[in-house]
Each structure stands twice: as structure tokens, then as C-alpha cells.
């Protein structure tokens, strides 16, 4: 057993009971309502969410002078949530974000948490995703595609590889040893930990699996073990927990739900692994031949993200999508605007971003291909709840992804 896992305190029975009690009270109340009132309760409060998001962006605006190291994250969380809602931001506000993020950019590459701060992979990922979400020449060309050094864990692997793939600068040198490191982070439970020897967690499982796909080495993971682990993370409260014996939380709608979105395109590899004992070495078959998703076949690393999204999902979602949407809408949504971890907690921009990202993932999880809109039966609540689709490897709105992909492929 992992040494760190055995030291991790699990949630107390009392905390678990309190959360379940609150959530099932909401569901009981909901169940007793007439149809029309139920539909109103399941409605995504678009206007209130927009008001909350714009207020957050404006609070950052006057010179972005708040003293913290998370401002590129706030830009990404807010702008991505707005894009998911299919809305735009005034051009002046967008220009301010681009200018602000330019001030966070280090002369030697990478973005810090604020102007003059040391560059960091996580804030670099957030800044790049924010700028891609703004889109357009001014925003995309403000990114200097060089950066030296960084930190070491699975989130760092993901943020570095995601940014490099997006910017069309992923190469064999950058990818070297990354797959070996992530394979060492897959635990006996089947999920992926932040570092070798630590406990499997949804956030790192998404990061590790997405990275392995982007570097063409996903078949080196034990995918059946991964599916087994993530399938048991959806609780009876309908939301996901981040790790075994912890409380459910709406942000895992994206981190764990995102793992399912990725697994939907790896079903053949999974079947092969189940038929053969897992060897850790892949050959060029099924999924791999279609997408180039295999370590032993030469492939243009920078085209993997694009090929991935062009390949239709091979299965229905392997989690309960409608139940998760119910949790997000009834328990994660603050009807005044914004989303929260669970009932009893306050709203924040992180949970707004990842709950909406998870909601979008659910809504499109049964779509046949990217050109067919989801059926009304796949969308919980009124069809007007439908959000914009995302690219599940990068978590940016698909349309923004295509614009940036084209821009960086040409420059």
C-alpha cells in the first residue's frame, strides 16, 4: 500500500452523513415538486452566472492590482466560464486582460502569478489557456513560446505538455522520460497520484492521463485499472469525489468526468489490455492506428490533440451523466450566480469554471460526433442549459481551440 495513502485522513462519518443529509434533503424536496417547478430548479441561471463572472473580471481590471499569485488563474477560470456560456466580453476588457497577462510574462518565457513574479508552469498554463480563450491576433501573438526550467509533479507534466502541444512546440526532447514518470505515479488503486508513492487523486489522474495521450504513450497505463478506479468515484449523491473515502465536490465533475471523456476514445486499447495481460508495451493496433496514439509508432506529436478530437467516441459515457448533471445543477449551483463545491459552501471562480466544464462534458458525452448537437434526452433540465463543447484534453471551448490550433500551426 502507498505509504502516503495510509497516512491520509479519511473524512469522518459525521462529515459524510452531514453532506449526504443536505444533498438528499434537496433531492427529496425536488422530487416532491410538480414538473414545471422541477424544470425551473434545473435551469442554468445564465444571467446570474454572467453577472458574477463579469463582476469578477472587472474587479481584476483597474490595473489588476490585487496582491496575489493567482491572477492568470482567475483570468482563465472566468473567461473560460464565459466562453462555456457562449457569451463574449467587451473588447476593452479583453484588451486589458491581454495587457495584464503580457506584464506577467517573464522576459525569458513563461508567466508568473502577477507582474514581475517568477514564472511558473501552472500560471503559464492558465495564462495561455486564458489568451487562447480570448483569441484573435493580438491575444495569440502576445505569447512568447519559450520557457526554461519549472517544477516536478504530474500537474507540472500536464501544464508543460499541454502548453507545448497547443503552441505547436512539442518535441521528443521535451517528452523524454515524461511517460516513465507518469507510469510510476499510477497507483495500486488504478488512479494517478501527483508524485510516485503518493495517493491517487482525480486532479492528477486527469493531468496524468491527458499528458500520456498528448505524448502518445497512453497505452502504457493500465487503462482497465484506471477505469475501475474512476468508475467508483461517482457517489450515491451523484457527484464525484476526488479520492477514496473523501467527500464529493463539484469541481471533480471535470477532473473525474474528464477522465471518462478521454477513456471514451480509448475503448479498443482497453479491450486489448483486458484480452492480453497488461505488458506495458503497446503495438500499433486499433485506436493507435486511427489516431497515432501509440508510443511505438512514429507520429507528429503536435497533431495528437487535433486527431484526438476528430476521432468519434467509441462508447457511451461510462458514468451516470444525467445524475452528475443533477448534482451540478441542484447542489453545485448558486442561484444568485456562480457554482460551489457542495451545498453549505460558498461560490467561487474555480468551482464555477470546473463545474461548468464538467457540465458541458456531460451534455456532449453521448454525441455521435462533433457536428451533431446532443439530443435533448442527454441534457438535464431545459435544453437552453446547453453549454459550448470543450476540447477535453485542454479544457478550452472547442471553437477557441480550433482558432488557436490554426494560428500556431501557421506561425
Ligand X SMILES: CC(C)=CCC/C(C)=C/CC/C(C)=C/COP(=O)(O)OP(=O)(O)O
Distance between CA atoms of residues 55 and 101, nearest Å: 19
Of all residues in the shown chain, the one whose CB is closest to ligand X is: 203
Tell how far CA 329 is from the center of its chain.
Answer: 18
Check if 252 is active-site: yes
Question: 214, 223, 251, 270: which one contacts Zn ion (CB under 5 A)?
Answer: 251
Quick one: angle between helices 71-84 and 46-60, nearest 10? 150
From the list ligand X, Zn ion, none, pick the one residue 341 interacts with, judged by a Cβ distance below 5 to 8 Å according to partner type.
Zn ion
Q: How far is the CB of 375 from ligand X (least distance, A)?
A: 31
Minimum distance from residue 268 beta carbon to ligand X (Å): 28
Which residue's entry shows cell 475503448?
267
Q: Does 203 bind ligand X (CB under 6 A)?
A: yes
Q: Which of 106, 287, 334, 348 is catalytic?
A: 348
Q: Which of 98, 207, 238, 379 is the binder for ligand X (CB under 6 A)?
A: 207
**Contact partners, residue 38, CB within 8 Å, separation at least 6:** 30
What's the CA gap between 270 and 402, in Å, rounded? Answer: 28
Q: DSSP state, 192?
A: B
- Neighbouring CB atoms inside 10 A of 388's CB total 18
The question of whether 95 is a catalytic residue gets the answer: no
Task: State yes or no: residue 158 binds ligand X (CB under 6 A).
Answer: yes
Question: CA 156, 158, 161, 165 torsion: positive or negative?
Answer: negative
* Stretch of 172-180, 232-240, 243-251, 302-310 lying at the interface with ligand X (CB under 6 A): 243-251
In the residue annotation, 180 being an active-site residue is answered as no
Q: Which residues between 330 and 349 bind Zn ion (CB under 5 A)?
A: 341
Q: Which one of Zn ion, ligand X, none is in contact with 242 (Cβ closer than 5 to 8 A by kind)?
A: ligand X
58 carries an active-site annotation: no
CA 77/CA 74 separation, integer angstroms: 5
> Position of cell 433540465?
381
Q: Where are the alpha helices (DSSP H) in 194-251?
A: 202-214, 223-231
DSSP label at 135? -
49 binds, among ligand X, Zn ion, none (CB under 5 to 8 A by kind): none
Show the cell assigned to 78.
Answer: 472566468
Name the binder of 265 from Zn ion, ligand X, none, CB < 5-8 A by kind.
none
Q: Which of 80, 120, 147, 201 is catalytic?
A: 201
The residues assigned a catalytic role are 201, 243, 246, 249, 251-252, 341, 348, 351
The residues of the shown chain that bind ligand X, judged by CB under 6 A, are 125, 155, 158-159, 201, 203-204, 207, 242-243, 246, 249, 255
The residues of the shown chain that bind Zn ion, judged by CB under 5 A, are 249, 251, 341
Amino acid at each position: 500500500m502507498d505509504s502516503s495513502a495510509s497516512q491520509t485522513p479519511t473524512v469522518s462519518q459525521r462529515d459524510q452523513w452531514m453532506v449526504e443529509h443536505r444533498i438528499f434533503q434537496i433531492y427529496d424536496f425536488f422530487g416532491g415538486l410538480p414538473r414545471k417547478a422541477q424544470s425551473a430548479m434545473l435551469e442554468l441561471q445564465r444571467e446570474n452566472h454572467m453577472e458574477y463572472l463579469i463582476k469578477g473580471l472587472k474587479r481584476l481590471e483597474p490595473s489588476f492590482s490585487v496582491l496575489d499569485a493567482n491572477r492568470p488563474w482567475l483570468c482563465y477560470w472566468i473567461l473560460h466560464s464565459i466562453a462555456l456560456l457562449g457569451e463574449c466580453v467587451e473588447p476593452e476588457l479583453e484588451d486589458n486582460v491581454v495587457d495584464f497577462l503580457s506584464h506577467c510574462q517573464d522576459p525569458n518565457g513563461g508567466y508568473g502569478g502577477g507582474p514581475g513574479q517568477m514564472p511558473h508552469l501552472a500560471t503559464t498554463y492558465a495564462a495561455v489557456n486564458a489568451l487562447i480563450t480570448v483569441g484573435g491576433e493580438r491575444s495569440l501573438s502576445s505569447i512568447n513560446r519559450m520557457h526554461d526550467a519549472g517544477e516536478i509533479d504530474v500537474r507540472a507534466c500536464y501544464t508543460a505538455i499541454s502548453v507545448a502541444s497547443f503552441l505547436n512546440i512539442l518535441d521528443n526532447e521535451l517528452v523524454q522520460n515524461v511517460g516513465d514518470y507518469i507510469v510510476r505515479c499510477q497507483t495500486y488503486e488504478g488512479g494517478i497520484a501527483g508524485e510516485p508513492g503518493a495517493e491517487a487523486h482525480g486532479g492528477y489522474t486527469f493531468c496524468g492521463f491527458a499528458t500520456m495521450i498528448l505524448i502518445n504513450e497512453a497505452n502504457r497505463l493500465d487503462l482497465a485499472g484506471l477505469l475501475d478506479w474512476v468508475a467508483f468515484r461517482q457517489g450515491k449523491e451523484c457527484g464525484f469525489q476526488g479520492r477514496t473515502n473523501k467527500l464529493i465536490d463539484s469541481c471533480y465533475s471535470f477532473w473525474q468526468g474528464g477522465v471518462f471523456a478521454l477513456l471514451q476514445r480509448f475503448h479498443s486499447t482497453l479491450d486489448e489490455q483486458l484480452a492480453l495481460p497488461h505488458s506495458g508495451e503497446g503495438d500499433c493496433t486499433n485506436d493507435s492506428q486511427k489516431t497515432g496514439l501509440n508510443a511505438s509508432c512514429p507520429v507528429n506529436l503536435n497533431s495528437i490533440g487535433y486527431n484526438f478530437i476528430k476521432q468519434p467516441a467509441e462508447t457511451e459515457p461510462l458514468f451516470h451523466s444525467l445524475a452528475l448533471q443533477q448534482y451540478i445543477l441542484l447542489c453545485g449551483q448558486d442561484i444568485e450566480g456562480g457554482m460551489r463545491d457542495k451545498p453549505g459552501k460558498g461560490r467561487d471562480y474555480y468551482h464555477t469554471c470546473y463545474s461548468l466544464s464538467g457540465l458541458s462534458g456531460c451534455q456532449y458525452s453521448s454525441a455521435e460526433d462533433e457536428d451533431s448537437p446532443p439530443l435533448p434526452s442527454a441534457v438535464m433540465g431545459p435544453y437552453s442549459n446547453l453549454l459550448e463543447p470543450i476540447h477535453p484534453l485542454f479544457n478550452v471551448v472547442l471553437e477557441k481551440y480550433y482558432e488557436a490550433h490554426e494560428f500556431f500551426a501557421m506561425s
